[in-house]
Amino acid sequence: MGMARRKMARRKATFRKATIRKWAPWMLLLLAPLCLLNLSVAFFGNSLVFPLSPFFLRNKAAALGRYALHRPLCIFRGHLPVDDAVARAEAKQRLPRGLLAALIQVESNGRVHRISSAGAMGPGQLTPSTAKLLGVSDPFDPVESIEGSSRYLAAQLATFHDVRLAVAAYNAGPGAIVNRTVPQNGETEFYVRKVMSAYAATHRPQPPTLATRQVP
């Protein structure tokens, strides 16, 4: 009886090995495009992405396509500094001074070519669908991208009349704001804290400096 069980176990082990050998090349062939897509996002977008992540594939592919169209142009013509683009957009949309700058800092740390693990693009981290909604054709162009982000943020402020809720809506979407509270989804609440902290830092009074007395 024990001999029969050992033989059966050996047969099962042999069958498993044969199956793995048979299907391993096909699995590698199927996973290669997925791995290449995620590694490309990590490399070109300067972000952390798990190579075998199956999430947001369409957004990632769209983001890489936009990046491929944008990159050759910006090599030759360059970009307007992000701080200048932020200041212009804040003034144009009459946003609270420093709010958009804080949001851009948290979203991308001001990196124009950033692509997130979810396929969000540019300094304001616009998803392909949001960029299309805002009419932003090049999310990696800081002027166009930040202008779109400022309009989206201004719309949330006009809707909720509250800075924290507007920031939460920018991150999670206006539909996620229920009963005028910040969504507790494991991401948005921490995002709002980071943005509000960066925003508060822009309003901290500077320490007084001692005037140097000139000796005649």
* Burial (0-12, 13-18, 19+ Cβ within 10 Å), 101: buried
- 121 strand-pairing partners: 115, 126
DSSP state of 174: G
Length of the chain, please? 216
Catalytic residue among 90, 107, 144, 147: 107
Report the chain's terminal Cα–Cα distance, integer Å: 110
Q: Are 98 and 107 in contact (CB under 8 A)?
A: no
**Is 144 labeled as catalytic in the residue annotation?**
no
Residue type, 107: E
Neighbours of 87 (CB within 10 A): 15
Q: Which residues are catalytic?
A: 107
